[in-house]
Chain A
């Protein structure tokens, strides 16, 4: 079945460091891919998405490119801030049929000043 694999956390970085959180997927079709962010004590918020191969999603300085050849959707940010501390989830979903989102296990990110 479909699955999403994220790099193990937790990840701790200094402010202004470069961030990469790896995400790879296994899917039988051609899903859309997403990154969600969960701040402490809150629900999930959609951070960015890409609906087809080679699309780049971007938001709040974060970027991720849908790479069909490597089945990856790595999250990157050039200069992180303390306010980026959160748990990040990679997920996939098909555009038609089942509405279900399949999530990775989440990566906890802590940014220290």
Chain B
């Protein structure tokens, strides 16, 4: 079955350590996204990538880094510079803009199950 996988489901790290969250998709989607979810807040976009080897900052990119070396993979590194890293992280993917069938309307973003990161 096609889908998005995120690993691990739960992650614990000591303060000051970098940590990398995995996101893999086998949907053949060009675009991938990372969101952060905090209690009482909506999802906020960290980074997104529309094609391999290219990515753009979202609304809250500070303290995070990404890479997009393969179409299927979009790992997120939470660095020690991120002041409040404890959160639920969601990865998503979609067909890139302009490739949708029909009138080019919305390309649904499919979400992974998320990784809950706790920094001790």
Q: Does chain B have a CB within 8 A of A42?
A: yes
Does A95 contact B43, Cβ atoms closer than 8 Å? no
Within B70-108, the residues touching A (CB, 8 Å) are 90, 92, 94, 97, 104-108
A96 to B92, CA, bound (A): 18
Q: Please give the residue numbers on chain B whose beta carbons come within 8 Å of chain A beta carbons, in ascending order.
A: 4, 6, 31, 33, 40-45, 48, 50, 58-59, 90, 92, 94, 97, 104-109, 111-114
Q: Please give the residue numbers on chain A whose beta carbons come within 8 Å of chain B beta carbons, in ascending order.
A: 4, 32, 34, 41-46, 49, 51, 89, 91, 93, 95-97, 99-106
A96 to B6, CA, bound (A): 28
Query: Across the A-B interface, how many residue pairs have beta carbons closer than 8 Å?
Result: 61
Instruction: Determine the chain B residues whose CB is within 8 A of the CB of A95 once the complex forms.
Output: 104-106
Which B residue sits closest to A89, measured CB to CB? B42
CB distance from B13 to the nearest CB of A (A): 20
Q: Which 8 A-B pairs have the closest CB atoms?
A: A103-B42, A43-B111, A44-B111, A103-B43, A105-B42, A43-B113, A32-B106, A51-B105
Does A43 contact B48, Cβ atoms closer than 8 Å? no
17 A–B contacts, CB within 8 A, in A order = A32-B106, A43-B4, A43-B92, A44-B92, A45-B111, A51-B105, A89-B42, A95-B104, A95-B106, A97-B97, A99-B33, A99-B48, A100-B45, A100-B59, A101-B109, A102-B42, A105-B42
Does A46 contact B108, Cβ atoms closer than 8 Å? yes
Instruction: Determine the chain A residues whose CB is within 8 A of the CB of B90 once the complex forms.
Output: 43-44
CB distance from A96 to the nearest CB of B (A): 7
CB distance from A6 to the nearest CB of B (A): 8
Instruction: Determine the chain A residues whose CB is within 8 A of the CB of B48 once the complex forms.
Output: 99-100
